[in-house]
Structure 1
Amino acid sequence: MNPLTAALPLAAARRTIDAALAHAASLQVAGIAVAIVDAGANLLAFARTDDCFLGAIDLAQRKALTAVRFRASTGALGALSRDGPLRGIEHSHGGLVTFGGGEPLVDGDGHCVGAIGISGGSVDDDTAIAQHCRDRFPATFHSTR
């Protein structure tokens, strides 16, 4: 890999955003925000639909940041933080998100190269869209290399 290029290509991030928006439309979920961060937790790509509420913009980015920082689903972190070993973790790192909608993005070699955050639908909808993109990401990633 060229050391001057991002481990997560912009083309892969854009394709992932397109997949998220298409899946949201297929689920009839309107008003979403989609954030993609790289492995260093830097915002790489972002999109929102025209009817997205303003709070979803920040939440999508925080979900992606949380997922990449812990290399874990935000929903899984939520399960551990309620009364579990990570109780209160959502108050660290400038406000983590511990409910569904954030997923790490792993390439075909098992390396976490970034994360996706979805916000604007119900928690179940956000989770379904993020997981859809996570599950298809290795093919998306390698088709842009």
Structure 2
Amino acid sequence: MAEGQRNEGGSGNGFAALPAVSANALEHALAAARAEANRLGVRACIALVDSAGALIAFLRLPGAFLISTDLAIDKAWTAAGFSLSTRGLGEMLAQTEENVRNGLLRRPRLTVVPGGIPIFHEAHCLGAIGVSGGTAEEDEQIAAAGLQCASGSMDTQAVSPITR
């Protein structure tokens, strides 16, 4: 930014402020995801991360597999890092060169196991929700329930877990 210019939309330091997921939206997302998991009879772990992939909310339902803790966090981390659902990333990688696909999938934490969905607001990825404990379809359904509730409480636009 040139001297004398101001950033009208930001914090005055030359950087535009991006919205973040509010504590209220996090609570709503966890509650909705928990309710969906209970409805399905799935003992799941539910993780929410911010746009940098840092864990900002987590819930492990009673009886959830211990390994589901890390898997849920990794699903959210992957979805936030790529601004793409974990299913969508898997579909995209299936169409890439084998060495690229294998190289990416050898990275720690990166996963294409379905159940991670990014959270968008005005075309900005604010973070993601990741769920582990059920089938791929159940994990996605639980994550989508959490995303839908979070979206409603913070006026975000949900992006299809399959295409984005």
Output the TM-score relative to the length of structure 2.
0.76
Counterpart selection for 2:64 from 41, 52, 55:
52
Give the aligned partner of residue 119 of structure 1: 132
Give the aligned partner of residue 100 of structure 1: 114
- The offset of 1:20, in angstroms, is 0.4
Give the aligned partner of residue 8 of structure 1: 21
The answer as to whether partners of 1:32 and 1:56 remain within 8 angstroms in 2 is: yes
In 2: Cα distance, 1:137 partner to 1:47 partner: 15
Output the TM-score relative to the length of structure 1.
0.85
Q: Which amino acid aligns with 1:61?
A: I
The answer as to whether partners of 1:32 and 1:120 remain within 8 angstroms in 2 is: yes
The answer as to whether partners of 1:106 and 1:137 remain within 8 angstroms in 2 is: no
Deviations 1:47-78 (A, max 9, x none): 01111110000000000000000000001111
2:50 paired with 1:42: no
The answer as to whether partners of 2:49 and 2:57 remain within 8 angstroms in 1 is: yes
- The offset of 1:26, in angstroms, is 1.8
In 2: Cα distance, 1:98 partner to 1:123 partner: 10
In 2: Cα distance, 1:19 partner to 1:49 partner: 13
Unpaired runs of 5+ in structure 1?
Answer: none
The answer as to whether partners of 1:106 and 1:134 remain within 8 angstroms in 2 is: no
Counterpart selection for 1:91 from 106, 109, 121:
106
In 1: Cα distance, 2:143 partner to 2:123 partner: 18
In 1: Cα distance, 2:18 partner to 2:41 partner: 36
In 1: Cα distance, 2:147 partner to 2:29 partner: 9
The answer as to whether partners of 1:80 and 1:87 remain within 8 angstroms in 2 is: no
What root-mean-square deviation, in Å, do the aligned CA atoms of Structure 1 and Structure 2 show?
2.4
Identity %: 33
- Bigger Rg, which one: 2
